Amino acid sequence: MNYEPPVGLLCPSIVTSNNGPTLSRVVAGMWRMGAWNLTPQQRLTLIKRCMALGVTSFDHADIYGDYGVEALFGEALALQPSLRARMQLVSKCGIKLVSPARPGHTIQHYDTSAAHITASVEQSLKALGTDYLDLLLIHRPDPLMDFDEIAGTFSRLRLQGKVRHFGVSNFSRHQFECLNRRVPLATNQVECSPLHVAPLFDDTFDGLQDQGVRPMVWSPLAGGRLFNGGDAAGERVRAVVQRIADELQQPFASVVFAWIMQLPSRPLPLTGSGRIDAIVDAVRATQFSLSRSQWFEILRAARGHEVA
């Protein structure tokens, strides 16, 4: 079944950093794929529809779906392997979950040792049905992480052709810079939304902008709280975003994505839905900008007080 995207709607591609890959401006997050209850053919159709919109980058982690999502994606990709050359596969490692899929894990913990990173990459490659990852991220900071060991492991994986670029996720500015001094990092994937604005004020985005590195952003819609959360901040933000969406004649979600993408560090937001309409809304955000006043109205609603 062919898919024709809305006329004129195509997600641009963007280089994450001087040392990074070219990713689509919007990245398709696959975290929940296991809950979408799609057949392999339906998964392939979704992938193709994303790519028709210019969303060619797909975000994974070894632990997603209780260690099952990468295999679900790989099963779909195997139906049309030629797509691999036109997409970018991102994965993450460094968390060990207690799971029937990993009977040797007795406690949930972090592991950024060379052995675990290497084994995780091998497993991800096998599950996805590919011989390389475009981008590998350390999923969470590990109190026992050894920056030199991680840097050496990254360098070996690159020399072996198994991973082309590297980054981190949920790292502080200092942690990012410590590892980036040892091996070039392409991105830091962090949580950000109008209901989670900490990276705007804790030096995370400032530091990345200074380094010329574009962050990736997970949970840009606050895990759905912007649509249905009952807390006071959610209610304030929802009302302001809806008014601006009406003014601009744009979908509600598109306004939120545009708000995030307007930050000077130029974040790449992740979607989290299996609905193509939700992907379309995210891509629409690449086509317009908010006025400075509109942008700050959303921030004021998020913080609950004047911002200047």
> What residues are labeled active site?
64
What sign does the CA torsion over 49, 52, 54, 58 have? positive
Angle (CA) 222-228-231 rounded to 5° is: 75
d(CA 74, CA 67): 13
Structure tokens at 93: 């490692």
| First-last CA distance in the chain | 52
Cβ proximity of 34 and 66 under 8 Å? yes
d(CA 281, CA 276): 9
Residue 223 CB coordination number (10 Å)? 15
What is the maximum span of the chain, computed from C-alpha positions, in angstroms?
A: 55
Cβ proximity of 173 and 202 under 8 Å? yes
